[in-house]
Amino acid sequence: MLLLTVASRSPLASGKEKGRIIAASFLFNPYVLCVGVIWGMMDNLVAILLIISLMLLTSRPVLSGVSASLAVALKLYPIVFVPLLLILSVRTRNYDNFAKWGLAFLGASVVTIWSPFVLFHWDINGFIGVGVAQVARDFGAIAPLSTFQHLENLGVTSIGLVPLQSIVASWWLKLIWVPALPITLLLIVWKRPSVESTPNMTRDCLLVYMVYLLTASWISEQLMELVLVLLLFLAVYVGFRRSIYLPYAVGSLIVLLFLTFNVPVSSFVFPLYSIDAAPLATVGRVLFPWLTLIFGCYLVAEIIITAKTFTNR
Protein backbone atom coordinates (compact mmCIF):
# COMPACT_ATOMS: atom_id res chain seq x y z
CA MET A 1 0.00 0.00 0.00
CA LEU A 2 2.84 2.36 0.85
CA LEU A 3 4.56 1.48 -2.44
CA LEU A 4 1.40 2.31 -4.41
CA THR A 5 0.92 5.60 -2.55
CA VAL A 6 4.50 6.70 -3.15
CA ALA A 7 4.46 5.58 -6.77
CA SER A 8 1.24 7.47 -7.45
CA ARG A 9 2.81 10.71 -6.18
CA SER A 10 6.32 10.11 -7.53
CA PRO A 11 6.17 12.74 -10.34
CA LEU A 12 6.22 15.38 -7.59
CA ALA A 13 9.57 13.99 -6.47
CA SER A 14 11.44 14.65 -9.74
CA GLY A 15 10.50 11.50 -11.57
CA LYS A 16 9.45 7.92 -11.06
CA GLU A 17 13.02 6.80 -10.41
CA LYS A 18 13.11 8.76 -7.16
CA GLY A 19 9.70 7.36 -6.30
CA ARG A 20 11.15 3.85 -6.59
CA ILE A 21 14.13 4.82 -4.44
CA ILE A 22 11.85 6.24 -1.76
CA ALA A 23 9.68 3.11 -1.72
CA ALA A 24 12.69 0.76 -1.72
CA SER A 25 14.31 2.63 1.15
CA PHE A 26 11.30 1.71 3.26
CA LEU A 27 10.62 -1.80 2.00
CA PHE A 28 14.26 -2.92 2.47
CA ASN A 29 14.98 -1.04 5.69
CA PRO A 30 16.26 -3.62 8.25
CA TYR A 31 14.38 -1.88 11.05
CA VAL A 32 11.11 -2.00 9.08
CA LEU A 33 11.71 -5.67 8.24
CA CYS A 34 12.17 -6.44 11.95
CA VAL A 35 9.06 -4.72 13.28
CA GLY A 36 6.81 -5.07 10.22
CA VAL A 37 7.69 -8.51 8.89
CA ILE A 38 9.26 -10.50 11.74
CA TRP A 39 7.23 -9.00 14.59
CA GLY A 40 4.16 -8.59 12.40
CA MET A 41 3.33 -5.14 13.81
CA MET A 42 0.66 -3.13 11.98
CA ASP A 43 2.18 0.32 12.48
CA ASN A 44 2.92 0.58 8.76
CA LEU A 45 -0.82 0.18 8.11
CA VAL A 46 -1.53 2.86 10.71
CA ALA A 47 0.93 5.12 8.90
CA ILE A 48 -0.72 4.66 5.51
CA LEU A 49 -4.16 5.35 6.99
CA LEU A 50 -2.85 8.59 8.51
CA ILE A 51 -1.31 9.64 5.19
CA ILE A 52 -4.56 8.86 3.35
CA SER A 53 -6.42 10.99 5.89
CA LEU A 54 -3.95 13.83 5.32
CA MET A 55 -4.15 13.60 1.52
CA LEU A 56 -7.96 13.57 1.46
CA LEU A 57 -8.48 16.14 4.22
CA THR A 58 -9.65 18.97 1.94
CA SER A 59 -11.00 17.05 -1.05
CA ARG A 60 -12.76 14.02 0.52
CA PRO A 61 -13.39 14.89 4.19
CA VAL A 62 -15.65 11.90 4.86
CA LEU A 63 -13.06 9.37 3.66
CA SER A 64 -10.37 11.34 5.48
CA GLY A 65 -12.28 11.13 8.77
CA VAL A 66 -12.97 7.42 8.32
CA SER A 67 -9.30 6.76 7.55
CA ALA A 68 -8.18 8.62 10.68
CA SER A 69 -10.71 6.67 12.74
CA LEU A 70 -9.44 3.35 11.39
CA ALA A 71 -5.88 4.35 12.34
CA VAL A 72 -7.01 5.01 15.92
CA ALA A 73 -8.96 1.73 15.96
CA LEU A 74 -5.83 -0.21 15.04
CA LYS A 75 -3.50 1.60 17.46
CA LEU A 76 -4.45 4.15 20.10
CA TYR A 77 -1.54 6.59 19.67
CA PRO A 78 -2.73 8.16 16.35
CA ILE A 79 -5.36 9.96 18.42
CA VAL A 80 -2.67 12.60 19.08
CA PHE A 81 -3.14 13.70 15.45
CA VAL A 82 -6.90 14.27 15.68
CA PRO A 83 -6.70 17.83 17.09
CA LEU A 84 -4.14 18.74 14.43
CA LEU A 85 -6.28 17.33 11.62
CA LEU A 86 -9.26 19.31 12.93
CA ILE A 87 -7.15 22.49 12.98
CA LEU A 88 -5.96 21.86 9.43
CA SER A 89 -9.55 21.29 8.33
CA VAL A 90 -10.80 24.51 9.96
CA ARG A 91 -8.13 26.53 8.18
CA THR A 92 -9.77 25.82 4.83
CA ARG A 93 -12.78 27.85 6.08
CA ASN A 94 -14.99 25.19 4.55
CA TYR A 95 -17.03 24.42 7.65
CA ASP A 96 -19.18 21.86 5.84
CA ASN A 97 -16.05 19.80 5.24
CA PHE A 98 -15.01 20.31 8.86
CA ALA A 99 -18.38 18.99 10.05
CA LYS A 100 -18.24 16.06 7.61
CA TRP A 101 -14.76 15.12 8.84
CA GLY A 102 -15.80 15.23 12.48
CA LEU A 103 -19.00 13.26 11.96
CA ALA A 104 -17.22 10.68 9.80
CA PHE A 105 -14.52 10.23 12.43
CA LEU A 106 -17.06 9.85 15.25
CA GLY A 107 -19.34 7.58 13.24
CA ALA A 108 -16.52 5.28 12.13
CA SER A 109 -15.18 5.21 15.71
CA VAL A 110 -18.57 4.06 17.01
CA VAL A 111 -18.72 1.28 14.41
CA THR A 112 -15.12 0.06 14.64
CA ILE A 113 -14.28 0.67 18.31
CA TRP A 114 -17.42 0.83 20.45
CA SER A 115 -20.05 -1.31 18.70
CA PRO A 116 -18.17 -4.64 19.11
CA PHE A 117 -18.38 -4.22 22.90
CA VAL A 118 -22.17 -4.01 22.62
CA LEU A 119 -22.60 -6.77 20.03
CA PHE A 120 -20.27 -9.30 21.69
CA HIS A 121 -20.84 -8.20 25.31
CA TRP A 122 -17.17 -7.47 25.89
CA ASP A 123 -15.97 -5.80 29.08
CA ILE A 124 -15.91 -2.12 28.14
CA ASN A 125 -14.65 -1.12 31.58
CA GLY A 126 -11.51 -3.14 31.03
CA PHE A 127 -10.99 -1.46 27.67
CA ILE A 128 -11.39 2.00 29.17
CA GLY A 129 -9.09 1.05 32.03
CA VAL A 130 -6.36 -0.02 29.61
CA GLY A 131 -6.77 3.24 27.68
CA VAL A 132 -6.49 5.32 30.86
CA ALA A 133 -3.40 3.35 31.90
CA GLN A 134 -1.71 4.39 28.65
CA VAL A 135 -1.86 8.05 29.70
CA ALA A 136 0.78 7.67 32.43
CA ARG A 137 2.66 4.43 31.92
CA ASP A 138 5.81 3.52 33.80
CA PHE A 139 9.05 4.56 32.13
CA GLY A 140 10.36 2.02 29.67
CA ALA A 141 11.40 0.88 26.19
CA ILE A 142 13.14 3.50 24.02
CA ALA A 143 11.38 6.58 25.44
CA PRO A 144 14.03 9.26 26.14
CA LEU A 145 12.52 9.76 29.60
CA SER A 146 13.14 6.07 30.33
CA THR A 147 16.86 6.90 30.52
CA PHE A 148 16.34 7.42 34.26
CA GLN A 149 14.78 3.97 34.63
CA HIS A 150 17.57 2.29 32.65
CA LEU A 151 20.19 4.03 34.81
CA GLU A 152 18.44 2.83 37.96
CA ASN A 153 18.41 -0.70 36.56
CA LEU A 154 22.21 -0.46 36.28
CA GLY A 155 22.51 0.42 39.95
CA VAL A 156 22.91 4.19 39.57
CA THR A 157 21.22 5.77 42.59
CA SER A 158 21.37 9.50 41.88
CA ILE A 159 22.20 12.22 39.38
CA GLY A 160 24.12 14.78 41.35
CA LEU A 161 22.08 15.45 44.49
CA VAL A 162 18.81 14.18 43.00
CA PRO A 163 17.93 10.56 43.81
CA LEU A 164 16.95 8.57 40.74
CA GLN A 165 14.18 6.86 42.64
CA SER A 166 12.39 10.18 43.18
CA ILE A 167 12.65 10.98 39.45
CA VAL A 168 11.31 7.59 38.38
CA ALA A 169 8.45 7.90 40.89
CA SER A 170 7.45 11.39 39.67
CA TRP A 171 3.88 11.17 38.40
CA TRP A 172 4.05 14.60 36.73
CA LEU A 173 6.97 13.50 34.57
CA LYS A 174 4.81 10.70 33.16
CA LEU A 175 2.17 13.26 32.19
CA ILE A 176 4.44 15.89 30.66
CA TRP A 177 3.33 14.90 27.16
CA VAL A 178 -0.22 16.05 27.97
CA PRO A 179 0.63 19.80 28.09
CA ALA A 180 3.45 19.40 25.55
CA LEU A 181 1.07 18.52 22.70
CA PRO A 182 -1.34 21.49 23.13
CA ILE A 183 1.65 23.84 23.33
CA THR A 184 2.93 22.37 20.05
CA LEU A 185 -0.49 22.83 18.44
CA LEU A 186 -0.65 26.45 19.60
CA LEU A 187 2.79 27.02 18.08
CA ILE A 188 1.61 25.57 14.77
CA VAL A 189 -1.52 27.73 14.79
CA TRP A 190 0.55 30.82 15.57
CA LYS A 191 3.34 30.24 13.08
CA ARG A 192 1.24 28.82 10.23
CA PRO A 193 -2.13 30.60 10.46
CA SER A 194 -3.22 30.16 6.84
CA VAL A 195 -4.08 27.18 4.63
CA GLU A 196 -1.03 24.96 4.28
CA SER A 197 0.55 22.94 1.51
CA THR A 198 0.71 19.16 1.85
CA PRO A 199 4.46 19.21 2.68
CA ASN A 200 3.87 21.64 5.53
CA MET A 201 0.92 19.63 6.82
CA THR A 202 3.22 16.60 6.82
CA ARG A 203 5.85 18.59 8.73
CA ASP A 204 3.19 19.59 11.26
CA CYS A 205 2.31 15.92 11.78
CA LEU A 206 6.00 15.11 12.21
CA LEU A 207 6.42 17.90 14.74
CA VAL A 208 3.44 16.82 16.85
CA TYR A 209 4.48 13.18 16.76
CA MET A 210 8.14 13.79 17.60
CA VAL A 211 7.13 15.95 20.57
CA TYR A 212 4.99 13.03 21.74
CA LEU A 213 7.88 10.58 21.32
CA LEU A 214 10.18 12.92 23.24
CA THR A 215 7.84 13.51 26.20
CA ALA A 216 5.95 10.22 26.63
CA SER A 217 7.06 7.87 29.41
CA TRP A 218 6.90 4.68 27.31
CA ILE A 219 7.69 4.46 23.60
CA SER A 220 7.78 1.03 21.97
CA GLU A 221 10.33 0.47 19.25
CA GLN A 222 7.73 0.06 16.49
CA LEU A 223 6.38 3.60 17.01
CA MET A 224 9.39 4.99 15.14
CA GLU A 225 7.99 3.50 11.93
CA LEU A 226 5.48 6.34 11.58
CA VAL A 227 8.30 8.91 11.67
CA LEU A 228 10.02 7.10 8.80
CA VAL A 229 6.84 6.95 6.71
CA LEU A 230 6.12 10.65 7.24
CA LEU A 231 9.70 11.50 6.24
CA LEU A 232 9.38 9.48 3.04
CA PHE A 233 5.99 10.99 2.27
CA LEU A 234 7.58 14.42 2.64
CA ALA A 235 10.36 13.28 0.28
CA VAL A 236 7.72 12.58 -2.36
CA TYR A 237 7.03 16.32 -2.50
CA VAL A 238 10.40 17.92 -1.80
CA GLY A 239 12.79 15.23 -3.04
CA PHE A 240 14.91 12.67 -1.23
CA ARG A 241 17.38 15.28 -0.01
CA ARG A 242 19.90 15.09 2.81
CA SER A 243 17.55 16.77 5.29
CA ILE A 244 15.30 13.72 4.88
CA TYR A 245 17.52 10.70 4.20
CA LEU A 246 19.96 11.57 7.02
CA PRO A 247 17.35 11.63 9.83
CA TYR A 248 15.67 8.64 8.17
CA ALA A 249 18.88 6.60 8.32
CA VAL A 250 20.03 7.82 11.74
CA GLY A 251 16.62 7.28 13.36
CA SER A 252 16.35 3.79 11.89
CA LEU A 253 19.83 2.88 13.15
CA ILE A 254 19.27 4.12 16.71
CA VAL A 255 16.02 2.21 17.17
CA LEU A 256 17.36 -0.89 15.40
CA LEU A 257 20.32 -0.99 17.82
CA PHE A 258 17.99 -0.69 20.80
CA LEU A 259 15.69 -3.34 19.38
CA THR A 260 18.64 -5.69 18.75
CA PHE A 261 19.62 -5.77 22.40
CA ASN A 262 16.16 -5.41 23.92
CA VAL A 263 14.30 -8.22 22.17
CA PRO A 264 17.06 -9.54 21.62
CA VAL A 265 17.75 -10.19 17.96
CA SER A 266 18.20 -13.91 18.62
CA SER A 267 14.44 -14.23 19.11
CA PHE A 268 13.93 -13.40 15.44
CA VAL A 269 15.19 -16.83 14.39
CA PHE A 270 13.63 -18.82 17.24
CA PRO A 271 12.38 -21.60 17.12
CA LEU A 272 14.14 -22.32 13.83
CA TYR A 273 17.45 -21.75 15.54
CA SER A 274 18.09 -21.27 19.25
CA ILE A 275 20.70 -18.72 20.38
CA ASP A 276 21.67 -17.89 23.95
CA ALA A 277 20.38 -14.35 24.46
CA ALA A 278 22.11 -13.73 27.79
CA PRO A 279 25.25 -12.03 26.37
CA LEU A 280 23.19 -9.63 24.24
CA ALA A 281 20.93 -8.81 27.17
CA THR A 282 23.95 -8.11 29.39
CA VAL A 283 25.45 -5.73 26.85
CA GLY A 284 22.06 -4.17 26.30
CA ARG A 285 21.64 -3.19 29.95
CA VAL A 286 24.76 -1.06 29.65
CA LEU A 287 23.81 0.44 26.28
CA PHE A 288 20.15 1.23 26.94
CA PRO A 289 20.68 4.52 28.83
CA TRP A 290 23.00 5.77 26.11
CA LEU A 291 20.69 4.73 23.28
CA THR A 292 17.61 6.35 24.85
CA LEU A 293 19.62 9.50 25.54
CA ILE A 294 20.89 9.57 21.94
CA PHE A 295 17.35 8.99 20.72
CA GLY A 296 16.20 11.96 22.79
CA CYS A 297 18.94 14.17 21.31
CA TYR A 298 17.93 12.99 17.83
CA LEU A 299 14.30 13.97 18.46
CA VAL A 300 15.26 17.38 19.88
CA ALA A 301 17.40 18.10 16.82
CA GLU A 302 14.64 17.06 14.41
CA ILE A 303 12.02 19.07 16.31
CA ILE A 304 14.20 22.19 16.02
CA ILE A 305 14.86 21.56 12.31
CA THR A 306 11.17 20.97 11.61
CA ALA A 307 10.14 24.06 13.59
CA LYS A 308 12.47 26.17 11.43
CA THR A 309 10.25 25.38 8.43
CA PHE A 310 7.50 27.60 9.89
CA THR A 311 8.80 30.31 7.57
CA ASN A 312 8.00 28.08 4.54
CA ARG A 313 4.65 28.74 2.91
Q: What pLDDT, in 10s, does the model give residues 229-260?
A: 999 888 888 877 788 889 999 999 999 888 88
Q: What is the pLDDT along the chain (313 residues), one digit of tens a residue?
A: 454 454 445 444 455 566 677 777 788 888 888 887 777 788 888 988 999 999 888 889 999 999 999 999 888 899 999 999 998 888 877 788 889 999 999 999 998 888 888 888 787 777 777 777 778 788 888 999 999 888 887 887 777 777 878 888 888 888 999 999 999 999 998 888 776 788 888 999 999 999 999 999 999 888 999 999 999 888 888 877 788 889 999 999 999 888 888 765 555 554 455 566 667 777 778 888 999 999 999 999 999 999 888 765 5
> pLDDT at position 264, please?
53
Domain interval for residue 294: 2-311
**CA atoms of 202 and 235, how far apart (whole Å):** 10
**CA atoms of 120 and 122, how far apart (whole Å):** 6
> How many folded domains does the chain comprise?
1
> pLDDT at position 312, please?
53
**CA atoms of 225 and 35, how far apart (whole Å):** 8
> pLDDT at position 13, please?
43
> pLDDT at position 182, please?
95
Cβ burial of 130 (10 Å; 0-12, 13-18, 19+) is exposed
> pLDDT at position 7, please?
47
Tell me: the pLDDT tens digits for 176-225? 999 999 999 999 988 887 767 888 889 999 999 999 999 999 998 889 99
DSSP 8-state code for residue 162: E
> pLDDT at position 123, please?
79
C-alpha angle 234-37-43 in degrees, rounded to nearest 5:
45
- Predicted TM-score of the model (pTM): 0.88
> pLDDT at position 11, please?
47
**CA atoms of 166 and 266, how far apart (whole Å):** 35
Residues 175 and 135: beta-carbon distance below 8 Å: yes
